[in-house]
Structures are given as structure tokens and as C-alpha cells.
Structure 1
Amino acid sequence: MQDAEIVSALCHPKHWLVYALPWPENSRDEPLAEAAVVIAPPLISGQTLDALPDHVVDVLAWTQAYANEHPDQEIVFFTDITRWLEWEKDLSWASLGIDWEWALTDIPEQPLLLMYLTINRRAYRHLIDTARVARVHHLDGTSEILTAEERQAVRDAFAGQLKADWPPYIHRSLAGGSLTIG
């Protein structure tokens, strides 16, 4: 593969994994916060994968299994995988013996291409939602259901933003030497 083809592949992964971080305490009342992480599992080389902790590798393996069954889904929420395991596979992270919380906490510590995302509270609700029907209760006493259509709109918004932001991130990483080819 030529360098230009490799750079193109790095800039346009088949899918991204997006998951929520705890909403920052210092942003409790803010409408936006740096409260999500995105990685591109298809870009993780075998050598890097071999060096990752087992619990991270396990989460990435199930991410890939999910992506294989959903090839048109560019943005994979961690909660999508959790829902799929429970609803379609009759499994759970616990039944698989995977400490997913530890894995998600460890991912930013690993040598992976990773971006932190600033998101709004509405997108955050979708990133943390694993319920079949999620009802959001507001301080004014009203409530509403988070719809599948809105979840898809959030996913589409992430895809659009990552398609704009990921290639420059890759180019900066290459230019700065934190990412090398070969």
C-alpha cells in the first residue's frame, strides 16, 4: 500500500467507537462539556492490539463483532454494543467476564488514535442510554421519550463532525511525529 493510500485509510476509518465520560463536575450547569471519547478501532494495528490490556482488547473485539453485523453504521456508540449484546445475543458484559468500565477508563491511557469530544447534554443522554424506552424527566415536571430517530440524528451529527475533524487530526499527528507510517 502506498503512503497516500495509508493516509487516506487513516483519515477515513470504516467506523468509530464513541462513548461517554462522566459529565465533568465543573461543567454541571453548562450546556456543553468535554464528555465523550472517540477512537477508530479499525486503525489499531495487530502489534498495538497485542500490547493492550486484555479488558480493552475484549471491548474492542466485541466492538468489531458489532460492526461486522452492522457494516453501514459508521458511528458505534458503546451503548449500541451493550444493547446488542443484551437484546440480540442474550449476553451482558458481566456474563462475558468483561469489566467494561475499567476498559473504557483505560482506553485513553493506551497508545491509540483518540479524540475527546465536546458534546451537548442531549447527545450525552443518547451516549449513556441502554434502555429500550428512555424517559427524560425535566426540572419543570415534564418528561419525554428519547426516540430512535433522535438517536440516529445524534449519530449522524457525530459522523459529520468526525468526517470533518478526524482527517486534520491525522494530518497533525503525522506532521508532529506522534503518528508514523511504516
Structure 2
Amino acid sequence: MDTEVERALVRPRYWFMFALPWPTAGPDVDMAEAAYVIAPSTVSEQQLGRLPSDAEDLLGFTEVYAREHPGQRVVWLSDVTRWLDGVKGNSWSALGVDWEAALAELPAQPLLGMFMTISRRAHMHMVNAAERSEMHYTGGHPSEVLTDDERHAVHNAFVRKLDADWPPYIRSMVRSGRLTIG
């Protein structure tokens, strides 16, 4: 692989990651394949133009967010949602973007992406766009607050995981011929 192209594919500027529904078959499991991640920089203009409009718009707003937050290597949908509401005074609905339809479409598209197994706790952070959130449990367990410090730690853990897992994934796609350069 060409070193510049390889660097762009293997070490993208950021990843876009979103939570999938937590499994209903085993709602009490601690870990589940409940997240999907793509590297938007690997999506060509041609591919972007072929996406359903909601998915294209969602990725477009995610790109704007990423440009305004250049140090953030993993961007969650909830990060973009929080930013739209708190900083931009906007919402997906007001922008005419059906984010649920967009998220349903992305894993089905021919994009470089992968499913991830995540913890229930990480999932709670990923789906939460609130500035402050308190979790209430049944069965006598005490409630607790999801902190921004923990949210930041979860982001960093995903960066480390993707820095380790994404390069071999891309290289295996090239070796198998499922990804061609040129």
C-alpha cells in the first residue's frame, strides 16, 4: 500500500461511532456487540453521494463537528447531538435529518466499518446526549451520575482500542482483495 494512502486508511483523523440497540435477548449481559464505527475520511465523495440523504447529512454534520473538535479522535452521535443543541441551538429534527434512519442505513452500506463489542456502561454514555444524567436502577441499587470525566475516559478507551484494531482490519481487507487502492 502507498504510505500516504495507507496512513489515511489505517490512521484516520477520527472515527464516527454510534450505539446500536442493546440486545433484548440478554438485557442483563455486561458486554454486547452494540456499537458500529466507520472512518468518515475513508468515504469517497462518490460513495457519499450514493448514500441515502439522511445518512449523507448526518455524516456532513459529523464532519463539521470533527473540524470544530480536531483533537477528538472518536466522535459519537451523542457528541454531535449535544453540540447541535448546546452550541448551535439546533436539533436533528429542525435540520430535517432523520438520524434513526441514517444510523439504520450506515451498517448496510459498502463502507469500511466494523461492529464493536462494548460494555453496558460505555453504551450508557454513548446514547446519552445530556450534559448531566443520573442513572436509576431497580432492585435496591443506588442511583449514580454519569460524569463527563467518565465520558472522556470512555472516549479515550475507544481511541486506544481502535488504534489497535483498525489497522489490522484495514490491512486484512487489502490482503483479501475486498479493499483495493487506486
Q: TM-score range by the shorter chain?
A: over 0.9
Query: 3-state DSSP class of the match of 2:92?
Result: coil
Q: Report the Cα distance in structure 2 between the residues aligned to 1:176 and 1:68, rounded to whole angstroms.
A: 33
Match of 2:80 in 1: 81
Match of 1:172 in 2: 172
Aligned 8 A contact 2:19 2:35 in 1: yes
Aligned 8 A contact 2:8 2:41 in 1: no
Q: Which amino acid aligns with 2:151?
A: R
Match of 1:137 in 2: 136
1:176 Cα shift? 1.1
Match of 2:92 in 1: 93
Q: Report the Cα distance in structure 2 between the residues aligned to 1:51 and 1:131, rounded to whole angstroms.
A: 32
Match of 1:32 in 2: 31
Q: Report the Cα distance in structure 2 between the residues aligned to 1:43 and 1:71, rounded to whole angstroms.
A: 17
Q: Report the Cα distance in structure 2 between the residues aligned to 1:159 and 1:141, rounded to whole angstroms.
A: 31
Q: Which amino acid aligns with 1:67?
A: A
- TM-score w.r.t. the length of structure 1 is 0.97
Q: After superposition, what is the alpha-carbon deviation per residue over 1:40-70, rounded to whole angstroms, capped at 9, x for unaligned?
A: 0111111111111111100000000000100
The alignment status of 1:65 with 2:64, answered yes or no, reads yes
Query: 3-state DSSP class of the match of 2:16?
Result: strand
Query: 3-state DSSP class of the match of 2:25?
Result: helix
Match of 2:48 in 1: 49
Q: Report the Cα distance in structure 1 between the residues aligned to 2:54 and 2:81, rounded to whole angstroms.
A: 15
Q: Which amino acid aligns with 2:173?
A: S
RMSD value, Cα:
1.0
Q: After superposition, what is the alpha-carbon deviation per residue over 1:134-175, rounded to whole angstroms, capped at 9, x for unaligned?
A: 001122241111000000000000000000000000001111
Q: After superposition, what is the alpha-carbon deviation per residue over 1:53-89, rounded to whole angstroms, capped at 9, x for unaligned?
A: 1111000000000001000000101100000000000
Query: 3-state DSSP class of the match of 1:29?
Result: coil
- TM-score w.r.t. the length of structure 2 is 0.97
Q: Which runs of 4+ in 1 moved over 6 A?
A: none
Q: Which runs of 5+ in 2 are unaligned?
A: none
Aligned residues: 181
Q: Which runs of 5+ in 1 are unaligned?
A: none
Percent identity reads 48
Q: Which amino acid aligns with 1:73?
A: Q
Query: 3-state DSSP class of the match of 1:180?
Result: coil
1:177 Cα shift? 1.3
Q: Report the Cα distance in structure 2 between the residues aligned to 1:102 and 1:45, rounded to whole angstroms.
A: 21
Q: Which moved more, 1:12-21 or 1:129-138?
A: 129-138
Q: After superposition, what is the alpha-carbon deviation per residue over 1:96-142, rounded to whole angstroms, capped at 9, x for unaligned?
A: 00000000000011111011010011100000001121001122241
Q: Report the Cα distance in structure 2 between the residues aligned to 1:89 and 1:8, rounded to whole angstroms.
A: 33
